Chains A and B, each alone.
Chain A
Amino acid sequence: QKEVEQNSGPLSVPEGAIASLNCTYSDRGSQSFFWYRQYSGKSPELIMSIYSNGDKEDGRFTAQLNKASQYVSLLIRDSQPSDSATYLCAVKGVGSSYKLIFGSGTRLLVRP
């Protein structure tokens, strides 16, 4: 079992729709969770960080965390073609080391 799992996609949604991206993680003790957006050939760009159960909203983005189910999601409202990218879920590893574990990413396509 991979430590952080994401559906590779592509997830295709029409412009203006809600895109829902999901991520599961294996280490129950994980406490820090992040969503990054990455355009092809570019560096990952932080969208959201979330540390507590529940929802966290920032503009069109909402991150949701459920530690009991080991599940974190990202909702993108009013999706735009410019949102088309790969979305990476990252989970901070448990313990004293500095380890950020990435999922393989979900490719999102927003159709005009």
Chain B
Amino acid sequence: EAQVTQNPRYLITVTGKKLTVTCSQNMNHEYMSWYRQDPGLGLRQIYYSMNVEVTDKGDVPEGYKVSRKEKRNFPLILESPSPNQTSLYFCASSRTRDTEAFFGQGTRLTVV
């Protein structure tokens, strides 16, 4: 089954403790991205990747890192999480730059 898989689905952590949210797609898509969704603010892009080793900032990159060492994986790294990073996070992938994006199940992160 074609899918985008994120882990974990739910995570509660403490301020400053480094964490990684994994994202993997099995569709051989070139493009991958991370979004956060907050009430009243909608979906906002954090980072995106157009291919292996090619990443760039989205609209809200501060406090996040990403890497794309393999085509299928695009992890999101929070080196020192803060409470304002409490949010619902989605990973997505697309076959090309202009075609539809398919989303993972989401990761609900709470930073206390």
For chain B, the count of residues having a C-beta within 8 Å of the partner chain is 28
- Whether A42 is near chain B, meaning CB under 8 Å from some CB there, is yes
* Residue ID in chain B nearest A47 by CB atoms: B100
Interface residue count for A (Cβ, 8 Å)? 22
Q: Mark B27-54, 1 if CB is under 8 A from A, else 0.
A: 0000101000000111111001110000
Q: In the bound complex, what is the Cα–Cα distance between A103 and B33 (angstroms)?
A: 17
Which residues of A approach B to under 8 Å, CB–CB? 31-32, 34, 41-46, 49, 51, 88, 90, 92, 97-100, 102-105
The 8 tightest CB contacts between A and B, nearest first, are A43-B103, A102-B43, A104-B42, A32-B98, A98-B48, A49-B100, A43-B106, A44-B103
Residue positions of B touching A, CB distance < 8 A? 31, 33, 40-45, 48-50, 56, 58, 88, 90, 92, 94, 97-106, 108
